[in-house]
Structure formats: structure tokens, C-alpha cells
Amino acid sequence: GQLTAVCCARGPYVNTPQKTTPAGAKRGARDQFTMSVVGFVSRFVTCGQNLAGYRLQQVRNKWADWRMIKDHKRRQCVVQHADARLRVNSLRKNTILPVELREIASKEIEAFPRDSSLVRVRERCAVTSRSRGIVHRWRVSRIVWRHLADYNKLSGVQRAMW
């Protein structure tokens, strides 16, 4: 076979000719394993259709990235501890109660997990997980919102014309 040199951005690479098997020949065990792994993985990760044109690979879960997962865990923690935290916080901020009782309430608040505070929850884009510039009514960032509005994908949104 003949070798051909290919010049890439990182440097020259050499393409070696591929081994071909005749039509009736059987493949080796390693080739079968490789093909089965490729077939298995290709079911879960596809490079075809991108989500809203933002170069996101479609993966098995529904999260855009790790920040979204972290935010979801925080939201679950807030829901779990919201009632107790609200009661203890109201005791802590009540100026009528004695100082000793308010100090006990402060120590109880410190015992709660940090992620149980509502302040730590951040609005995120449902498509890209971007945290800034969120259009709250649609839960997407301004960039994705404009893209979807341009292609008439949002109900109730019309391009301004005068």
C-alpha cells in the first residue's frame, strides 16, 4: 500500500491504509468487540441533530452540563429544608424574643446545609445552562430566546414590525 501524508493544524500525520476483509471472511474477536462497543455507545451519544443549534451533543440525561445538575441538587435541598428553615429563621429575626433564644436559633440555622438557603439557587437556561440574561417567562437565556423567536418556535412571541 501507499502512504499519504496529511498536514493538519497540529502537524503532519500519516494515514495508513485500512485492512479490508473479503466479503465472506469472518472478523476477529477484537473487531467484533470494537463494533459492539461502537454500536452500544452510538445509541446514547449522537453527533447528528444539535439541540437548538448550539453544538450540544445529545446525551442520555436531560442536563446541559454539571452546573445544571448542581443547581437541581440545591433546589431539592431547599425544598427538603424549607419549612424548618423558615420557622427557625423567623425565631432568629424576631426582636421580641430574648437574646438567648435567638442565639439558639442562630446555631440551629448554622446546622442546616448551606445549599438549603434559597439565595444559593440560581435561575438557569433550560437549554444551555447559562446563568445570566434569563428570560424568566420561558426559562431560557436571551440568546436562545432570540434564536427561537426568530424561527417562530415560541408561542405568543412575534417579531416587532411597524
**Across the chain, what does the average pLDDT equal?**
77
Find where cell 448550539 sits.
Answer: 54
Interatomic CA distance for residues 22 and 27, integer angstroms: 10
Residue 156 pLDDT = 87
Rounded to whole angstroms, what are the CA distances from 109 to 2, 53, 89, 90, 159? 73, 44, 7, 11, 49
Hey, what domains does the chain have and what are their CATH numbers?
Answer: 63-122 (1.10.287.1480)
Q: Which residue's entry shows cell 445538575?
A: 69
Q: Does residue 78 surpass a pLDDT of 50?
A: yes
pLDDT > 90: percent of the chain: 52
| pTM for the structure as a whole | 0.58
pLDDT of res. 15: 44
* Tens-digit pLDDT profile for residues 86-135: 999 999 999 999 999 999 999 999 999 999 999 999 999 999 999 999 99
Would the pLDDT of 161 be above 90? no
